[in-house]
Amino acid sequence: LKSASPPPPLLHLHGRPTPRAWLDTMGDVLKAFEDKKLDFDNWLKTQPPAIEIGITTATAFTPARASNTTAWLDTMGDVLKAFEDKKLDFDNWLKTQPPAIEIGITTATNALQGGVLGFTLGMVNGNLEKQAASMPNKPPTMAGGSFSGPPKVLALNLAVFSAVQGGLTLAVKKYRGKDDITTNMIGMLGAGAALSLTTNLGDQPAAPGQVKPTTPIGYAIDAVRTGVLFATLNGAFMKIGQYFTGKNTVQDVYYYHTVGMLTALGLEKYEKNFRRGLLMDDCLALLSDSALKEVKIPAGPRLKILNYVVASKAHMAAFSAQQQQLQVAPVKEEGGLAQV
């Protein structure tokens, strides 16, 4: 018997690919697929926002993935992220426009959002009323008022309310240069008055226990009363929010570097401690362990903050010395040239 020599390496054995050849082939296929997917993603980014979001939703959400809860959540997360990115780009672009264009677009977008919300709320109210009508003991339903009625009526009310609130608030903010409680209360005052006029001038019946005005003076009085009510409630809620969060938009300019430091260290939750202790930006270089302890910041965060302050001082000292050397160097060169 002759000794059998090993067969030469073949890509196929009896019509079947060897494991190594099969893996190589699949690797080529996957690489080609990834290249095509990259080209498609690059092309998709050049399309308008509506087309990009629509195609992303259509291609990512398939029945196979929908059967998997995790995959479905991932898909919705991708869609929401794409929408947020486009919204951020739009907001940044809007801030670069003249005030009249920015206020106009803000008013229009708020009106659209309010209209959609109102129409949806009207449909929900209609379904609830139908269900309540079939009950033995029929519960009372809201037959009138600003936030009740058919979908079209409610859509109009909320569209007007949202448009005036958003546009007027932005206009007052541009005029005053402040985004504080007063600015928001003025916007809500106008929104409440506009909502009152829209409801009273329309065919919608009054809310139970109320009588719709019929004279211009009555319209004006009800508009002022409603506007003051909405402004007061808005101001009270914002004041309560500032009390619990410790934030005040009027004073944010004094804590700009403080917030940046805490964010860099991952200690954002101690911002309210700095505000309550009035430790503003001009106090950063003076921070001490006793000062941080007085505003009830634990030992670990205190060490991080103090180390950050020391490192910042060293960095600023080195930068200042470097600037002085750069200023001295041209003087020496000029003196040398003068001597020559």
Q: What is the tens place of the pLDDT at every residue in 191-204?
A: 999 999 988 887 77
* CA distances, 219 to each of 48, 186, 194 (Å): 45, 19, 11
Query: How much of the chain exceeds pLDDT 90, in percent?
Result: 27
pLDDT of residue 14: 45
Cβ 166 vs Cβ 106: under 8 Å = yes
Predicted confidence (pLDDT) at residue 164 exceeds the cutoff of 50: yes
CA 282 to chain centre: 30
Amino acid 41: pLDDT:
80
Averaged pLDDT score across all residues of the chain:
79
Q: Say if strands 12-13 and 16-17 run parallel, antiparallel, or are unpaired.
A: antiparallel
Residue 138 identity: K
Confidence band for 12, pLDDT divided at 50, 70 and 90: very low
CB 143 within 8 A of CB 132: no
Q: Please say if the pLDDT value at position 38 is more than 70.
A: yes
Q: What is the pTM of this model?
A: 0.52
pLDDT of residue 306: 94
**Would the pLDDT of 248 be above 70?**
no
pLDDT of 5 higher than 80: no
Q: Does 263 score more than 80 pLDDT?
A: yes
More confident residue, 134 or 248: 134
Q: Across residues 273-290, what is the average pLDDT?
A: 89
Q: Which residues pair with 17 in a beta bridge?
A: 12
Contacts of 244 (CB under 8 A, 6+ apart): none
Reply yes or no on whether the pLDDT at 186 is more than 90.
yes
Please say if the pLDDT value at position 334 is more than 90: no
For range 77-101, the mean pLDDT: 82
Interatomic CA distance for residues 331 and 324, integer angstroms: 11
SS3 track for the chain: CCCCCCCCCCCEECCEECHHHHHHHHHHHHHHHHHHHHHHHHHHHCCCHHHHHHHHHHHHCCHHHHCCHHHHHHHHHHHHHHHHHHHHHHHHHHHCCCHHHHHHHHHHHHHHHHHHHHHHHHHHHHHHHHHHHCCCCCCCCCCCCCCCCCHHHHHHHHHHHHHHHHHHHHHHHHHHCCCCHHHHHHHHHHHHHHHHHHHHHCCCCCCCCCCCCCCHHHHHHHHHHHHHHHHHHHHHHHHHHHHHHCCCCCCHHHHHHHHHHHHHHCCHHHHHHHHHCCCCHHHHHHCCHHHHHHCCCCHHHHHHHHHHHHHHHHHHHHHHHHHHHHHHHHHHHHHHHHHC
pLDDT value for 71: 65
Confidence of residue 82 (pLDDT cuts 50, 70, 90): confident
